[in-house]
Structure 1
Amino acid sequence: MVSEKPGHIGHGSAVESPVVHKFSSDEEIVLSHDTSSLPPGYFTSTYFLGTMVASGLAIAGGVGGFALAAPLLGIINADIGPDPNYVWIGLVYTLTLAIGQTLVGRLSDLFGRRWFFISGSILALIGCIICAVATNIPMVIGGTTLIGLAASTQLSFTFVVGELVPMEYRFMANAFVYVWSIPFSGLGPLVAYAFVLHTKAGWRWCYYLMIIVNGLGALCWYFFYHPPTFYMKNRTTTRWEMVKNFDFVGFILFSGGLLIFLMGLSWGGGVHPWNSAHVISTLVVGFVACVAFVLWETMANPKEPLMPMHLFKDIGWDATIILISLGASVYYAFSIIFPQMVFGLYTEDKAYGSALSCIVGACIVMGQIVGGLLSKWIGKQKWQLVVSTTAFTGLLGGVACATTDNKDTVIGLLIVGCFFVGWVESIGLAMSGIVIKDQSEIGTAVGIAGTVRSAISTVASTIYVAILTNRLGATIPAQVPPALINAGLPASSVASFIEAMTTGSFEGIKGLTPQITEIGVAAYKNASAMAYRTVFLSTIAFSGVALVLSFFCPNVDDKMTSMVATVLHKGGNGEIEGAREEKTRHAHVEDV
């Protein structure tokens, strides 16, 4: 029995013929095709179109499960809390997503994808139901844990869509999927606050909507998504043999180490002080476990490694995944800090403020869509990345000019800068699955890219929040008390005024007048603006490194071929979808 590697595409060359598995009985199953060898109507078959819809619903569920709730965490805590542990709602989502994407990519490469993606949508559905009926914060945390685990599959759409379309159309296919994220990733704060302001159920409608989305997604995956099964990909190996050969040591070191390390980062300065035993111990143990994982994968040579180290020998792939991770880290600075800045400097109106807060996400999604649509037509992806990274480095760094009086300038810089962040994200994420030498490892490659992106973004987010906290702790005491005292407020009332700026109530403050209030508020906003400017300046450190890395990214014009890495099959008999429909049509004609 002879088995050829499924879906192998040589580096820098087009594959001229389908890749097959051959068996001693002369039986063969074709796993990869050139479009010319596919049956007529394959790309318009119900199975292919249904899978594309399933992918769109997946990204909607993956981002919407948290993006809608994230702006409302304070409201949720006030409604069914208060509970100081409500910060875990955000932590568990990012932690489970970070470790899950590599696992989903690798395991689905080895065992087949179908049930991973069906189960992902079902898990998200269960998580959203728990959150929708939650009566306390621990229930929301538990539900969000399931939502984060599910998002590991839902946000892995890149390799599902990528392997099903011709190489030359992968960028465009991703653009199609990004469209589905507009109401959630793009307009999440606006939609979330609309539910709070205009529905009786309020924040629970965020989860009601996601129940519908995930339910439809699960149905689409089940009825339409029929990729090659484990048996079709591994006719010489049983599932039990694959399980026995699986890299369980690497799995424990990677999952446990990364989870503990990111947990320590997320705790620091918020849940626990940076110098606390909780933070220090988790950071040290997690880091040591991650180092041990790399040594294990490099030196132990497991039969089925969790993270094949040969992928990292490709400098172009390394540069691409770190570039998109650094681009995402810049995005997180603005997606986390800018909404606070909107309500802190520009408006107290929730509807207007939520609309302004959408600028970051909406413009990034537009960049993802436009970049995906135009990338193949423009060509020379390396230079697209260089130009786009240069643009967002300068434009978003320029947001450091922010004051209380130049809102329009800030918004203009944000719109264009975030658009180019989205362009980089769209091209880079697709390229992480294109530049690899073996397309049978596309899930592993893209999954690793997703994990690296989440890990670096978590580090960056921690840095941004720490910078903002530290700067506010310096600028507010330096600016606000002198302004208040000079305006006539007794020194004994200054602390009460600063505390009132966070609560919104100035009642009972001795010696406070409307004129003093106006002066104090203006001083507080100016001090806050100074802190925000420092955060935005700090993004240049990340985007500057990204700019350097963009010059090491490869062009993939030579890979824009008509090769389809994986085709959809119905059941386990290896018959391509579309061929059955064609046979039925011919049989009908012959009968007539």
Structure 2
Amino acid sequence: MPMRLFRNFKSDAIVACASIGAMVYYSGTVIWPTMAGTLFTTSIAEVGWLSCAVGGGLLFGQILAGIGIRSLPKMKWQMTTAGVIMVAFVASLASSTADTRVRTVVFLLIGAAGAGYVENLTLSAITLVWEPEDIGLVAGMMGCIRTAAGALATSMYSSILASELKKYLPQFVGPAATAAGLPVASLPALLAGVGAGSFDAVPGINADVLAAIGRPIKDAYAMSFRTVFLCTLPFGAILLLAAIFYCPNMEDYLTDEVARKLQGVATEPKMEGKGDEESQNA
């Protein structure tokens, strides 16, 4: 990547917004199915349907952005508004529990729609703030950076979730299991079984213990996901700062100027007889 690409603050702001929108989307495709399966249902089919909320919300936001780019003025403020919606509703998922299934899905749909709106705005805007000969280069640069940001967010959120579970599972599940009659010595095997999804190797496990730990496991996951979604806030602050102070409005770039025509260019006339002579020689 040529370093000159990063001297354009308008372009940098657009890339930053695109990257943070991608962080929400890509991490959501990994975190949300886990959340749905641990808090709301154990049915594979239901988890599959619930998982459509991320991609469906993103697509809906992209459709709205396509309409907004054409119909609404001031792309800067569209970007800011969409960023506020995305950050507010994704961070609000931190309040999710096993009893808030409908609310959580609605919040996720709206937050993903905000991310989709941001994505479509940035994909449209990045090609306008550079000269025509650089369009392919800057589009590829932004694609690389946003994909890397998505991979980073997925890894970071998964790591945060694992760390928080190590803290909250013993805190919630341990007392409930021992109160139901599980030996204290079996707690490490029980906690390992929560992650593995099987309690067959837990000494002393029985139906009473399994019934007693069902809700505490969900509560531990809810607390862990709370930290994950709250981590969206600092990245959202970066998006909003970039949108408000550096993202340009596009009205000045939407002109009738044609940078280069691909048709109607005069060419040298073909010399008569030359083609026939070459054919005969061949």
| TM-score, with length taken from structure 1 | 0.43
Which of 64, 86, 89 does residue 370 from structure 1 map onto?
Answer: 64
Which of 113, 122, 133 does residue 440 from structure 1 map onto?
Answer: 133
Partner of 1:390: 84
Which of 464, 489, 500 does residue 157 from structure 2 map onto?
Answer: 464
Which of 219, 222, 225 does residue 532 from structure 1 map onto?
Answer: 225
> Is residue 452 from structure 1 mapped to residue 145 from structure 2 by the alignment?
yes
Q: Distance in 2 between matches of 1:349 and 1:553?
A: 44
Aligned amino acid, residue 44 of structure 2: K
Render the CA deviation track for 1:353-399: whole Å, top value 9, x for unaligned.
11101101111011112201221210210000011101111111111
Render the CA deviation track for 1:177-222: whole Å, top value 9, x for unaligned.
xxxxxxxxxxxxxxxxxxxxxxxxxxxxxxxxxxxxxxxxxxxxxx
Q: Is the 8 A contact 2:90 2:107 kept in 1?
A: yes
Which stretch shifts more, 510-519 or 541-550? Answer: 510-519
Partner of 1:554: 248
Q: Distance in 2 between matches of 1:508 and 1:427?
A: 52
Q: Is the 8 A contact 2:94 2:229 kept in 1?
A: yes
State the secondary structure of the residue aligned to 2:92.
Answer: helix
Aligned amino acid, residue 492 of structure 1: A
Partner of 1:352: 46
- Give 1:564 shift: 4.7
Q: Distance in 1 between matches of 2:201 and 2:14?
A: 57
Q: Distance in 1 between matches of 2:250 and 2:70?
A: 9
Q: Distance in 2 between matches of 1:504 and 1:465?
A: 17
> Is residue 497 from structure 1 mapped to residue 198 from structure 2 by the alignment?
no
- Give 1:405 shift: 1.1
Paired positions, count: 265
Superposed CA RMSD = 2.0
**Identity fraction in percent:** 33
Partner of 1:337: 31
> Is residue 415 from structure 1 mapped to residue 109 from structure 2 by the alignment?
yes
Q: Distance in 2 between matches of 1:382 and 1:531?
A: 35
Aligned amino acid, residue 250 of structure 2: V
Render the CA deviation track for 1:130-160: whole Å, top value 9, x for unaligned.
xxxxxxxxxxxxxxxxxxxxxxxxxxxxxxx
State the secondary structure of the residue aligned to 2:127.
Answer: helix
Aligned amino acid, residue 451 of structure 1: C
Change (3 A) 1:520 1:450: same
Aligned amino acid, residue 423 of structure 1: Y
Partner of 1:428: 122
> Is residue 324 from structure 1 mapped to residue 10 from structure 2 by the alignment?
no
Q: Distance in 1 between matches of 2:180 and 2:9?
A: 60
Aligned amino acid, residue 153 of structure 2: A
1:20-419 matches, cutoff 5 A: 307-419=1-113
Gaps of 5+ in 1: 1-306, 577-592
- Give 1:313 shift: 2.4
Q: Distance in 1 between matches of 2:84 and 2:93?
A: 15
Q: Is the 8 A contact 1:321 1:429 kept in 2?
A: no
Which of 193, 212, 220 does residue 519 from structure 1 map onto?
Answer: 212
Change (3 A) 1:546 1:562: same
Q: Is the 8 A contact 2:82 2:115 kept in 1?
A: yes
Q: Distance in 1 between matches of 2:195 and 2:140?
A: 41
Q: Is the 8 A contact 1:329 1:542 kept in 2?
A: no
Gaps of 5+ in 2: 267-282
Render the CA deviation track for 1:213-241: whole Å, top value 9, x for unaligned.
xxxxxxxxxxxxxxxxxxxxxxxxxxxxx
| TM-score, with length taken from structure 2 | 0.87
Q: Distance in 1 between matches of 2:91 and 2:201?
A: 41
- Give 1:514 shift: 2.3
- Give 1:508 shift: 6.3
Aligned amino acid, residue 332 of structure 1: Y
Q: Is the 8 A contact 2:24 2:112 kept in 1?
A: no
